[in-house]
């Protein structure tokens, strides 16, 4: 898992609107949420939402599945797990939840 995958994912989540959006999907769980529901909840124009969704989808953090008329969006946990794994393995040290390396060359 290299930085060329990780950095865009961090950037995707590093926007208040998209982080909020992503968290709505996490809370929605396996059922996911249709784009339209997200739009109501976030209360933003459809075209703006579509733009942000595209960024999340393009980094692999969100998946979409069409169910007839509606597009269901879901948080894609494997991507998030890999992201957390990267941060834990390669960006943490010392105290706390992360591992305890001190200066892995």
Partner DNA sequence: CCATTATTTCGAAAAAAATCGAAATAATGG
Partner DNA sequence: CCATTATTTCGATTTTTTTCGAAATAATGG
Chain position carrying tokens 């393009």 = 58
Report yes or no: 24 and 42 within 8 Å, Cβ to Cβ: yes
Q: Which stretch binds DNA (CB under 7 A): 21-29, 47-55, 82-90, 95-103?
A: 47-55
Q: Which of 69, 103, 104, 105 binds DNA (CB under 7 A)?
A: 69
First and final CA of the chain: distance in angstroms? 18
CB of residue 102 to DNA, shortest distance in Å: 23
Residue closer to its own copies, measured from CB, 67 or 94? 94
Distance CA 54, CA 50 (A): 6
Question: Cβ neighbours of residue 67 under 8 Å, at least 6 residues apart?
Answer: 34
Question: Under the criterion CB under 7 A, does residue 2 sit at the interface with DNA?
Answer: no
Question: Under the criterion CB under 7 A, does residue 85 sit at the interface with DNA?
Answer: no
Report yes or no: 60 and 80 within 8 Å, Cβ to Cβ: no
Question: Under the criterion CB under 7 A, does residue 103 sit at the interface with DNA?
Answer: no
Question: Under the criterion CB under 7 A, does residue 48 sit at the interface with DNA?
Answer: yes
Binding region for DNA (CB under 7 A): 11, 15, 17-18, 34-36, 39, 44-55, 64, 66, 68-71
């Amino acid at each position: 898992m290299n930085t060329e995958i990780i950095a865009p994912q961090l950037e995707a989540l590093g926007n208040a609107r998209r982080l909020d959006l992503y968290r709505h999907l996490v809370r929605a769980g396996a059922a996911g949420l249709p784009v339209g529901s997200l739009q109501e909840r976030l209360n933003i124009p459809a075209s703006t939402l579509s733009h942000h969704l595209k960024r999340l989808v393009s980094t692999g953090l969100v998946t979409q599945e069409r169910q007839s008329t509606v597009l269901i969006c879901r948080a894609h946990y494997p991507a998030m797990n890999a992201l957390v794994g990267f941060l834990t393995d390669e960006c943490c040290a010392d105290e706390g939840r992360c591992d305890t390396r001190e200066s892995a060359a």
